[in-house]
Chain A
Amino acid sequence: MKKKISSLVKNKSKMNYDLDLLKDMYKKMLLIRRFEEKAGQLYGMGKIGGFCHLYIGQEAVVVGIQSAQIEGDSIITSYRDHGHMIACDMDPKGVMAELTGREDGYSKGKGGSMHMFSREKGFFGGHGIVAAQVPIGAGLAFAHKYNCNNNVCITYFGDGAANQGQVYESYNIASLWQLPVIFVIENNKYGMGTSVNRSSAGDNLSDRGKAYGIKSEIVDGMDIIAVREAAIKAIEYCRLGKGPYILEMKTYRYRGHSMSDPAKYRTRDEVEQIRKTSDPIENIKVLLNKMGVVDKVLKDIDVEIKSIIADAAKFAQVSPEPSSSELYTDITIN
């Protein structure tokens, strides 16, 4: 999925989009959704423990942004991280095996759902403390700038994290030092059970960058083309050395905050309404149809993904638990 920006089509009209690119994006979003559905299922069966935060509904955000990145860019996010890992082309088998706490998981079973990493794929976690990834993301951007490598860091956080002080400490330094970091606020309307309106003063979270001289944009996070266009613009700005950028993605999570959240703070109607009217995968499906992609092609993609997910789920259950000797490894390097 990572391509040179120059090769990406930037036409305003969605109908002129590169068809292969759209199909890739559709496939990746679907892969994330099916992965999460399977994770939810395995959680219900007791195969996955602890906290498990699903990304269903928000797929367009990470896939759209990832489509605008180049080799060497880094990304970092919170604990709602499975989608980001799959968008980075991390192996669903390794991700699922980490969820089941097995030795073939990305963290050898020692991190779990919230703490996974792949340096190779530029994915720097998976962080369990709300907003802790924000200064770390600014620090990764600092390293890009220090090394003069023209890469950027995409730093994701939710609307809940947007009220943490360290976000603003990071905004301040990122702007002062002109760090190549794109702060992506995934505003899914609820920080656990508290709606944005009840937790956050002011009209829009993105407005808060103004005080630090950081440019920002509000984006329809359910529309992958809009996400991608905004990401291209923000990333280009950062890559030119102009400093940080804020993208506030208006999105929605269909499931609860975590698996144990009954989501009584919103109505079923609200969720259904969004599913019906603005589901990101349905949106792109309609576009593909309009561009002449027949249902058979989409169905084939569906079948292929189902098989990838089935393999991942199987792998995650047959992979052995980590050996007890792993208890005392990886505490320090020497």
Chain B
Amino acid sequence: MTIEILMPALSPTMEEGTLAKWLVNEGDSISSGDLIAEIETDKATMEVEAVDNGKIGQLLVPAGTEGVKVNTPIALLIDSTELPHTSIKTIADKPYLEKEKITTELKIEKPVTLEPNSSIITVREALRNAMAEEMRFDKKVFVMGEEVAEYQGAYKVTQGLLDEFGNKRVYDTPITEHGFAGIGIGAAFGNLKPVVEFMTFNFAMQAMDQIINSAAKTLYMSGGQMGCPIVFRGPNGAASRVAAQHSQCYASWYSHCPGLKVVSPWSSKDAKGLLKSAIRDPDPVIFLENEVMYGQSFSCPDDDDFLVPIGQANIEKEGSDVTIIAFSIMVGKSLEAADILNEKGIKAEVINLRSLRPLDIETIINSVKKTNRAVTCEEGFPFAGIGAEISAAINENAFDWLDAPVKRVTGKDVPMPYAANLEKLALPQVDDIVNACSEVCYKS
């Protein structure tokens, strides 16, 4: 009897990984629980244990292979009485693997154009580079959070920072969000420049009082004496299949409160330029990342002084018929929607907000005055969301230019369900954007 050992999924968002090393050879007898291989995901290197007893009949995927999709057979387990295959051949020889072609290329949905003086890097690398560059530039900058130092970041965003800067600049905290947020704020009042990582913003609700009442309001309450130059950063919004308590967009929560700046990057370029601006900024900045974006690659300027100004949106794609206003992961979905709309004869303009507060109302209004239609996109709940705010701003500033009511594409007004099909229904999809744009163009 032959059992296929499959490439395991080692995190909620993992789709593929590198088979770094085999810890067994063909012909070895193994028992359930034995370590058989090391697998690298974009977050960590993990050891894989055998689930069944038997003998390794064949290693199907050679060590060092990148981009092995989850659920691809990587080895065959045979009865201990059988003889293993005598040779390891390339995976292409295995007929049952043909439909699961293993790619060694980076997963890029669209080919990325390399801009001058830039490199193609992931959002994760861009964020790390931004922190490292600012830490080299200013000794007051330090990083603290859960697992940011020795573990190299729960999502590997702070990888290598401990090695380069040491434990006086990179601090692992206990799991006490309220406490370490307050300590970061105190350090900022004491003229340091903390970058506080929340493992995800879902856990930052524990620290909400410190963020709002201490970081955001103290400058005002002190008549301008108590600046708080701090960055709170981490993944925000839905990851994948982690349900209601771990999948929420907090953009509108933080944007609601005067005293905070709120930014949310989409590309590697945004990530680097905005994070560097946030660290240099004298005010508290909420920096909302997206876990799903961490592994995506974009062209990003190499320059150590490359900054994206806070408060400035970017028009990612020009168009004349409808303005799509999005931030973070929804920018990518909006660009996909724009391509589909183009085929239907609708030319969509896509605005990447980048900053939510201050909001670049001018760019939005100028675009709406050109296209006369607007669709907002966000992962968050609709009620009192970012889309509601933008819609109000368009009403106040460009009502006479509108040819259709502003439409919102949002996450559904429900706690995030776990089931895959329900989760997909709860999250805004490309089709939702296409449909909304078609509707405001009266072409549905």
Contacts and interface: CB of A to CB of B under 8 A. Distances in A.
Contacts of B214: 127, 129, 132, 136
Nearest to A329: B224
Interface stretch (B106-114, B186-194, B233-241): B186-194
Interface stretch (A7-15, A108-116, A248-256): A108-116
Contact of B186 (A109, A111, A138, A330): A138
B395 interface: no
A333 interface: yes
A76 B185 CA distance: 13
A138 B183 contact: yes
B64 interface: no
A137 B186 contact: yes
A287 interface: no
Contacts of A169: 174, 176, 178-180, 182
Contacts of B173: 173
Interface stretch (A117-125, A219-227, A292-300): A117-125
Contact of B183 (A106, A126, A139, A165): A139
Contacts of B283: 332-334
Contacts of A139: 182-190
A180 to B, nearest CB: 12
B218 interface: yes
Interface in A135-157: 135-144, 146-147, 153
B259 interface: yes
A142 B183 contact: yes
Contact of A330 (B171, B191, B209, B223): B223
Interface in A255-304: none
A127 B223 CA distance: 14
A125 B225 CA distance: 11
A101 B332 CA distance: 50
B186 A334 contact: no
A146 B192 contact: yes
A268 B312 CA distance: 62
B190 A142 contact: yes
A195 interface: no
A332 B222 contact: no
B210 interface: yes
A175 to B, nearest CB: 11
A106 B223 contact: yes
Contacts of A240: none
B213 A110 contact: no
Contacts, number: 149
Interface residues of A, number: 49
Contacts of A138: 179, 182-183, 186
Contacts of B223: 105-111, 330
Interface in B146-191: 168, 171, 173-174, 176, 178-191
Contacts of B259: 331-332
A124 B189 contact: yes
Interface residues of B, number: 41
Interface string A65-102: 00000000010100000000000000000000000000
Interface in A8-48: none
Contact of A142 (B178, B181, B186, B261): B186
Nearest to B284: A332
Nearest to B172: A176
Interface string B196-223: 0000000000000110011000111111
A170 B179 contact: yes
A111 B217 CA distance: 10
A172 interface: yes
Contacts of B176: 169, 172-173
Contact of B225 (A119, A141, A176, A329): A119
Contacts of B179: 135, 138, 166, 169-170, 172-173
Contacts of A177: 171
B210 A143 contact: no
Contacts of A143: 186-187, 189-192
Contacts of B209: 129, 132
A169 B186 CA distance: 14
B230 to A, nearest CB: 10
A191 interface: no
Contacts of B232: none
Interface string B255-276: 0001101000000000000000
B142 interface: yes
- Residue among A106, A107, A119, A135 with the most chain B CB within 10 A? A135
Given A140-B186, A333-B283, 13 more contacts: A106-B222, A109-B223, A111-B222, A124-B189, A129-B209, A129-B214, A136-B182, A139-B183, A142-B187, A143-B187, A166-B210, A172-B179, A329-B224
8 contacts: A106-B222, A108-B224, A118-B225, A138-B186, A139-B186, A139-B190, A143-B187, A146-B168
The 8 lowest CB-CB distance pairs between A and B, nearest first, are A139-B186, A135-B182, A169-B179, A143-B190, A108-B223, A136-B186, A115-B221, A169-B176
